[in-house]
Structure 1
């Protein structure tokens, strides 16, 4: 997990003077963040941010942090409304940034952080934070995906509980055996609107496909991707090895069914591991299966922090963000919520922490994971359409080529309409 040096204005530090920053009077930074816990509960992210803000202000008395935390269901709209009304927060933590970067509303990372702090971010994540080769998004936390399977259900079906399926054919054979043993959902395939874009990409990667090519052009309807959905339709959905109508089924529904012992196999992230442990479920994990064997890569997902230019608090924002990503502070958040660090220093710390041993397989995959093309300004709208539509390609009577070609055309249209 090598760190990265950031190009562009990398010679610039965040510690030069600016209007409205420390030294020109007291500054109050408005921070809007997403809640990774349960609102009102003792694991709410609000508790973390308030404690962190208090410690920061003690060290920097002229900078106060006004924290607002919203649920993931609400934060996207609330933040968009703030930006559209001309009153964005100084700092936001959410799941996308490219639209605002393209509109010139965000500070470059090189304008915020000193070079050592920039260099601590993992390479793949720093690059995923770029729009047109300039980094605007600061990765906040990350996760990768692995295959989960229920060991007790494997035993019931006469399958080896210590051998996860490694290829699509092995997935099909295991699902057939699980169905014959009376398992309610042999393979959980969440292609509903919650995260259909993620489940789809995991399967695409197993067949050498992806949403974009190496230079960022959309490849949604590539031969590899069409073949992937044809296989899903004909080998899992058609024979009844998945839940009925996977295009309507969301990820969290299947996570909950898995922890109840109703699902034999599905793809999941660290949160599923936490949920399964609470239910004392006997489960195993493995690499994502591919068409010929274990997939070479896996899906990586990151959430982002960004600083808005509107109020001119560049120096204060930079100081606070540098504090957020200090090893102790960053690791405290990731370890609390079972997520992966985005910096080299915190990743090394997790690697040495025996209490986080179950996260090590996810951590091992992070440097080589495939991320959504979040740096494309057109991705947010394209992803929204994929979530609503792509599941139709795997329906029993679905038309993978037609569905994926329609998505390709819409993606290309969004790309042409994006700000240049």
Structure 2
């Protein structure tokens, strides 16, 4: 996967000439006729409220005021349903004009999406953070437009660290294991929570593969799941954490992320790999949350995992200009910052990230923002990824079982991945 390093978000924005330059985007010329766009978007309100609906209503109202010939109808769906409903509409020949969902690659491969450069102004397209651009590409063309992002850090419970006599957060695997042993001796239920259960095991796995110096794919974007470095990573996990009883009472292969996060928020977990929303929830419940870059085998991990949700424009109704104008408008700094800030997520653009990083109101997100320019994302541009991800979710927990041979488990997953890849 392509990776480009930014020496600082503000400096990058200045170098690209983007600072303050996006507010005028998103206006059509007077010749545009009357068009109604349909937008289907995911609901990010974890509390069951209507904040997502209100956000899009505000964006649409402001856009329509600037573009009186265009109306935008918004349909909000839960994350449990939104991908399925969009897929059903596309299959029925009733694709929305715009969808904000979790994946784009299958639609790109089927020729159903506009490419980014068919929709966006140059300034808006150039403003996306580089790792997110790379992750939004299918066969070297960008179709997925990153809507919001997040990164992962090592979370630790500061009070439990103090009680266990852990004086500093770990920066290497050996230090992590040593801290977990001290936590275990003090009776901490989960010294290190390792959720390799089927809910989100592909994400936990990727974080550890990156920490071990490798990842899911090689420089040519082909799967290499059973590489020597990846096998060493899982051998270390099995031997130094799981076999030593440092991962808690639930076997990692049966522990889902939701349960691990809930346990952390209850103060039962010493350490785990976490994201921004967990930080907020744990602090609400009185947990003093410490955060640090993921430890690596011998120092800071070479990269952390990034995650993005996507927005895309469908070709079916032929509204390229109108879709492009709306998306240009939606990616203004004001809109991007409001949505990311309201949901404890990270902006997908350089200029909005720079503004958030300098804003004291978002100081708690600063470490996540600083990790984003060098983050690596799962290979979501590969149409095989959904199938491969499913295999990882089902099988990876076996790699750290007491009698397991990680090389054999990773080898089985790698063979399944190669088969899926060959069918792309």
**1:15-414 residue pairs with structure 2 within 5 A?**
23=31, 25-38=33-46, 40-42=48-50, 44-160=51-167, 163-243=168-248, 244-414=250-420
Q: Structure 1 residues 137, 231: CA separation in 2 closer, same or farther (over 3 Å shift)?
A: same
Partners of 2:32 and 2:161 lie apart in 1 by 65
Aligned position for 1:11? none
- Matched position secondary structure for 1:139: strand
Hey, what's the Cα distance between the residues in 2 that align with 1:231 and 1:22? 63
Aligned residues: 404
Shift of 1:397: 2.2
CA–CA distance in 2 between the matches of 1:369 and 1:40? 31
- TM norm structure 2: 0.91
- Alignment partner of 2:374: what SS? coil
Q: Which moved more, 1:246-255 or 1:314-323?
A: 246-255
Q: CA, structure 1 residues 312+227, in 2 after alignment: closer, same or farther (shift >3 Å)?
A: same
Distance 1:363 1:252 in 2: 23
Post-superposition offset of 1:316: 0.8
User: Deviation at 1:205?
Assistant: 1.0
1:107-157 deviations in Å (ceiling 9; x for gaps):
000000111111111122112111111111101111111111111111221
Is the Cα contact below 8 Å between 1:210 and 1:220 reproduced in 2? Answer: yes
Contact 1:107/1:314 (CA < 8 Å) preserved in 2? yes
SS of residue paired to 1:370: coil
Q: Is the Cα–Cα contact under 8 Å of residues 39 and 71 in structure 1 kept in the other structure?
A: no
- In the other structure, the counterpart of 2:21 is none
List gaps (5 residues or longer) in structure 2: 1-5, 7-11, 17-24
Per-residue displacement from partner, 1:347-391 (whole Å, max 9, x unpaired)? 111122111011111111111111111111211221122122212
Distance 1:40 1:293 in 2: 41
In the TM superposition, residue 396 of structure 1 has moved relative to its aligned partner by: 2.0
What is the rounded CA distance, in whole Å, between the counterparts of 1:67 and 1:22 in structure 2? Answer: 24
CA deviations 1:22-61 (Å, max 9, x no partner) are 846321111111111137414x312211221122112112
From 404, 411, 423, the counterpart of 1:417: 423
Equivalent residue, structure 2, for 1:9 = none
Deviations 1:223-247 (A, max 9, x none): 1111111111111112211132111
Q: CA RMSD in A?
A: 1.9
Change (3 A) 1:22 1:108: farther
> If the length of structure 1 is used for normalisation, what is the TM-score?
0.92
In 1, Cα distance between equivalents of 2:376 and 2:335: 26
Name structure 1 gaps, 5 residues minimum. Answer: 6-13
CA distance in 2, matches of 1:22, 1:164: 59
